[in-house]
Amino acid sequence: MPRRPQSIPANPGAALESLIGVFALALIAWQKKHGRHDLPWQNTQDAYAVWLSEIMLQQTQVSAVIPYYQRFRERFADVAALAAASEDDVLALWSGLGYYSRARNLHRAARQVVEIHGGKFPDTQEALMALPGVGRSTAAAILVFAFGKRAAILDGNVKRVLARLCAIDGYPGETAVAARLWQAAELLLPKSGLRAYTQGLMDLGATLCARRKPRCSECPAADLCIAHREGRAAQLPAAKPRKALPQRRTTMMVLRRAGEVLLEKRPPTGIWGGLWSFPEIESDADAAAICARRYGAEVEAQAALPLIAHGFTHFHLDILPLPLRVRRWPRTVAEPGLIWLSLEAAESAAIPKPVRQIIRQLSAE
């Protein structure tokens, strides 16, 4: 057995070569016997399937992704079908999965694949990373699984595996720490068995090498893992430095008439970009006066619905839904950016999760 280094040095070299080979062989053998083999995007070299799953899996658990992936494949069988769809249709199908910039980038990337690459995904890292929403790790996954090429991935689960295996201290979101993790990912990459190895890294991080309570006794790399040997598996990788998130508050005007509600198209960028939502106002604003000024409408305020607490990456948002009965509405339905929908139609539209919660409350009345 080769001598194991205590950690990845700043400039790793030949001293790690024997360790790298042992880790890869152990991981590949484990993946073939104990890894995941029946996920709906596996057992294919279809670049569209690989790309779609990788985008959906960004910051999202497999169990949440599976039904969305299956619905997307049923609705958009290939990249050409996705490219031909409207953004509203894509966002509606994505609704509830969160991080909506992924859906907008997905749609833009599909159109680029069709317009620039003739409907075929490129097979180079540079060309893949030129697609909206495709970063270094996502491009590498496509290269490995769809084209059998040699490339290193480094998603959230893999960062945890490598931080523990190589005892890389620090928060992975920091530039210097990320650089060391990428360095280790490249060095550990075997020359063959790339699909099983790459899938094994994902599987190991998602199952045994969990963030909390890692199951080190079942890990194929336990005897190689420096963090395990030093009793530091629970401390690595370092957590993101904590800071208090700002608290924001908004009021959503739930305008109702003849069994329909008014939805407003949000700007293409920012939170819930491109989705349909209830018009928002400041919490202490006069809703009736704003409706008169903004729409030329006459409304009557009703009892507010329960407050909805919604969390984003960078802030917390408290949403007060304020139902407003419309007495007079002079505008037409066809005005851009506004649409009247029945509760049933609104629930199936491209709307954010809190809006869907409000609509379901109204439907239950």
Is the previous residue joined to 237 through a cis bond, with omega within 30 degrees of 0?
yes
Report the b/e string of 96-109 with b at 16+ CB within 10 A.
Answer: ebbebebbbbbbbb
- Catalytic hit among 54, 174, 260, 298: 54
Q: Which residues lie below 8 Å from residue 226, measured CB to CB, with a gap of 6+? A: 4, 5, 6, 7, 164, 165, 166, 167, 232
Rounded Cα distance, 130 and 124, in Å: 10
Q: 62 burial class (0-12, 13-18, 19+ CB within 10 angstroms)?
A: middle
For residues 18 and 16, what is the distance between their CA atoms, to the nearest angstrom?
Answer: 6
Whose CA is closest to 255, among 328, 306, 318?
328
Q: Is 74 a catalytic residue?
A: no
Helix boundaries (H) for the chain:
17-34, 47-57, 62-75, 79-84, 87-94, 101-117, 125-129, 136-147, 156-165, 175-188, 194-206, 226-229, 287-295, 343-347, 353-363
Return the residue matching tokens 């995007």: 41
Q: Please give the Cα distance from 246 to 308 (Å, whole number).
A: 16
Location of structure tokens 């992924």: 102
Q: Which are the catalytic amino acids?
A: 54
